[in-house]
Structure 1
Amino acid sequence: MKNFELYALTPATSNLPRIEGLQYVCGLTHTAIMSAAPQKVLTLPQSRKQLLTAAAQRQARLEACMDPGPLIVCRPQFFISHEDVQALISANRPLLDRLVARLTGKVQYQITISWNEAAVLTKFRDSAELKRLFRKRHITPSMLARGVSTLRQRLVSEIEAHLSGISDQMIHLPAMPDMLCNAAILLERAQNPQLDNAIEAIDAIWTEGFRIKQIGPAPAASFALLDPSLVDADEIEAAIRHLGLQKPLSEEAVTRARQEALRQAPQHANYTKRCAEIAAATARLDAEARLFLCDVTAEDQARLTNLQQVA
């Protein structure tokens, strides 16, 4: 069997665009968006330029598939056969349903804001953070560094207030030293005008000194990235044994066994929960010798916004 890279899953089963390099494999409830080229037997090391080009191509293909329905993006370099697609969907159906409910109508934007460090002292000389320093006879480098750091924190807070006011969630991404903000925000598609207003308000803080970059709309991969892993027959048997279950399995029996195991051995809670996930997926598949179990990862812990922050 040939394996193909899984780009994403979507509940849409029709109206997906024809895109060079992609193919669609329809399951009962979801469609798998996959690479058209099979996995290579041997892959040679790639340069940084090649990796960046491949990542940009992948992102462009995903964005072109957004309109028919929400995309549940898969981590890069996960390969699966056509024959295993439906089994993956069935094993992880409750998780996929929750992600569809969470992501329907939502898009992701990445907002990057840098400032002109060389002009900071000129622009903000009269700010509350710096004006007292310039009244002193002597200013040490440490005093100046503290003042600029305080100013930076205030500007970052102002920027984040504008963004969090329109978004459901915000995630901080790795930032360069000259960046005040490098964040991904999740918002409703209909809120694009509000995003434009927020960017205009941020730009007005220092039009000539801020460099603002906006990427999107894009699938919400920073907030929910599917991470499948193969669970073999030995792991399945160990999970069933840990829970004290017998085949054939049912999800109701798995739930009861999970509750009992957590009550009797709370010190093994994490392992018990993982075993229950494996057993429940096995019950959905009905006598599979192996399965693909999915976790969901995010690039960072989502920050609470609006009233949640105030509370």
Structure 2
Amino acid sequence: MARTSTKDPVVGPDAPMPPGYAFVRKGNVFITSRCRKAAYAEGRAVFVVAAGGRARGLRVPRGVLAAVLAAHGATRAARARAVAARDRRVEAGFRAALLALYPRAPAADVPRVVARATRKRSRRVGRCAALAAEPRARLAARAHLRHARTDYDALLRAGVPRADARARIAARVDALEREWGLRGEQQQPPPPPGRAAAAGPGRRRRRRHAAASAQAKTRTRQAAQAKTGALAEKKRQRRRASAAESAEKESRALVPELRAGGSDRPDDLDGLDDDDDDDDDYGTDATWTPSDDELDDVDWPLE
């Protein structure tokens, strides 16, 4: 009976390899998913190899892996054709939505907007499944107009803040949209998923609140780092004191034996008092304190 549970046992990379198993590196969904299904169908276990809290791959039966690799090679061309056809459908759908929204869009600009917005693995709006086709098309068109038809990039290079640069060229972008025949009297396009709308009279107030919140997080993190550093330093001091005390006791115990053997100076004791605790279990991460710049990079709200 085929297994249906996906809660596979997790092992470390140094764990012994089960007899008859082989490692499959994470990254090829065709191989990993089919190895799982085939192993479950045979009632065999699949082990997830993880290190540092991240999955690195799978350990699967060798026979299963060999069959999946053979299928992978035999179907490579067909799968490539299927992916290309799917990409063409995505691009065609996006192009249709763009032209429906902007019927007078210049023929030279449409391919550029479509190609950039639908590029695979770019995380651009053309492939954002959380938005309908029309909002995606408008966001992509406005981005193209902003960069290709205004001095937006020049403002950014001159040091103008991003929000201010957008505000300066907003009217020009609106006018260009009308030239492209923007359908109907539509409002500003919705912000991408995960971003709050920035327009409106409360915009500056929200930005000040976000800045204050970021500063508060910075202070909290700095205080926590300082406390952690102080605790780690106390532990190191106790370890050094304990090591020194143990070394001294051992020295006192060894000195009579060495002197009984005819040594006037216990040269064999050299190094017993060396402080080797710098390489203790705490390492350096426990007392690491990031700089203000690094904290800003972590805590500052993304626009």
TM-score class, shorter-chain normalisation, is under 0.3
Larger RCO (alpha carbons 8 Å, 6+ apart): 1
Q: TM-score, normalised by structure 1?
A: 0.22
Task: Give the number of the structure whose residues are more often helix, by fraction.
Answer: 2
Q: TM-score, normalised by structure 2?
A: 0.22
Task: Give the number of the structure whose residues are more often strand, by fraction.
Answer: 1
